[in-house]
Amino acid sequence: MTRITRRALAAVPLALVAGRALAQPRPLPAAPAPASPWPDATETAARIRRGEITAAEVVETAIARAEAMQGTLNFIVNSDFDRALAKAKAGPPAGPFAGVPFLVKDLVDYKGLPTRGGSQSQRRAPPATVQAPNCDAFDRAGLIVLGKSATPEAGFLPSTEPIATGLTPNPWDLTRSPGGSSGGSAVAVAAGIVPAAHATDGGGSIRIPASHCGLFGLKPSRGRIDDFEGKDGITAFGVEHVLTRSVRDSAALLALTEDHKPDASYPPIGVVDGPNKKRLRIGVMLANGEGHSPTAEVVAANDHAAKLVAALGHRVDYVRLPYDGDQFIHDFLALWASSAKQLADRVARVTGRQPDDTVLEPFSLGLVEMAARAKPQELGQALKRLEANVLAYDTWFTAYQFDVVLSPVLSSGPPKLGEIGPLVAFDTLVARLIEYVGYTPIHNIAGAPAMSVPLSWTPEGLPIGTMFAARAGQERMLFELAYELEAANPWAHRIPSVHV
């Protein structure tokens, strides 16, 4: 799930502050290429630099794949093929990922394309004239944007089933959800259409589709990525990064988009290019925020991951949440509802009337009603409790003396399409979401990094990710662990049943 931002779902695009310092491109990591039927972004760029293939040929191939797969997977909501091909043909491209095809999620402005955010309220949005610093970094890196990827309305739901643009199915099983809200990006990478795609995460929206689509997805710390959004306070709970098949692509793209300004929240980590010999203290957690165990297949995946890290020499202990998980998830939902009300208020200002189901989805309207019913002091009380949860999360690591927490990403594998879609009765859907998404939101409130690593598959062949989380600012440690897991339990050779 991803929070509504001042760039997302605006009926008229906002003027955004410009003039930020530009990060300089850095070398790509030296980590070996994982075995895969498709080259990752790092290898694709290397082949272009070596002259084995041209950027135009790579982009033409990606466009052909997108056109062939769109009817089945419905992953792209606004194509930009002509402009992408013109960029690729314009001359020798510059940047460490020069010529690599890419998608930008349709919650974020990209110059020349409208931002519709999966909502009928944005169907007439004009093309964006400004974009965030991280999108500037994508352009400087040489990535060629093919268009905008599908997302649920305003990123509110963890399944990509917006009424405005239709269902986006999971390429591992077309009857199931790819997750959300970065579902379109995940599907495009999983099916081999592009090697990497932009994603955002305000409650799990990078990690959820990574888990359901067999991809690597790291949610950065709040303030790590150079962005227009606020860096301070729990209300700035959304972040941006990418979904990839390889760890090295994710690490390199973070190095190219992290904040290098003097007032950056954290010192830049640069390119993390391999594992660390240091052994970690890893706390293993199984119960979700409600205190319930996940499905048997998720339990098995969590046990497999715990045994794997123990076999690699890391110290493993079992831990529990240091706060009231049930109260936390209800407080987070109150914050989510406040975001929906802000969206509805903005739509009302532009249209001159309160939005109804011809403009916003039933679930979004249910959140708006929830916020309207709340007493004035209730949101403030929820925010105070969430602030206390941030402190509890941070001190949890020192109190138990561990470096990383290992847990499920979700309480189940990929759900059937429609089970957590926007047309489910509101109260029923909220109850399902509380049970299903009980692991991921705390990292958004705490501003901490967390990653979904594709270490397990069900007997039916569906992927199940395992989450590894750390204290704020500890992306390097997570990437180093991810490289080690990728080598010990590779996943890039696995491909879904529907693919290019």
Active-site positions read 105, 181, 205
3-state secondary structure 204-247: CCCHHHHHHHCCEEEECCCCCECCCCCCCCCCCCCEEEEEECCH
* Residue closest to 446 by CA, chosen among 385, 387, 379, 397: 387
322 residue type, one letter: P
As a whole number of angstroms, the distance between CA 465 and CA 457 comes to 8
Rounded (5°) CA angle 399-403-406: 105
Q: How far apart are CA 380 and CA 433, in angstroms?
A: 23
d(CA 185, CA 193): 10
What is d(CA 156, CA 173) in angstroms, rounded to the nearest whole number? 23
**CA atoms of 7 and 445, how far apart (whole Å):** 20
Cα–Cα distance measured from residue 487 to residue 489, given in angstroms and rounded to the nearest whole number: 6
User: What's the rounded Cα separation, in Å, for the pair 22 and 387?
Assistant: 32
Rg (alpha carbons) of the chain, rounded to whole number: 21
Task: Dump strand ranges (E) for 335-449.
Answer: 404-408
* Cα within 13 Å of Cα(66), Cβ side: 28
Q: Helix and strand tally (H, E) in the chain?
A: 14, 11
Sign of CA dihedral 269, 470, 180, 217: positive
Query: Phi, psi (5° rounding) for residue 103?
Result: -125, 150
Residue 488 CB coordination number (10 Å): 13
Backbone angles phi, psi at 176, to 5 degrees: -115, 160
Using DSSP's 3-state secondary structure scheme, residue 79 falls into: strand
* Amino acid (1-letter code) at residue 233: G
Nearest residue to 449 (alpha-carbon basis) of 216, 268, 208, 221 = 221
Interatomic CA distance for residues 17 and 8, integer angstroms: 15
Helical segments of 199-358, H only? 207-213, 247-257, 296-311, 325-351
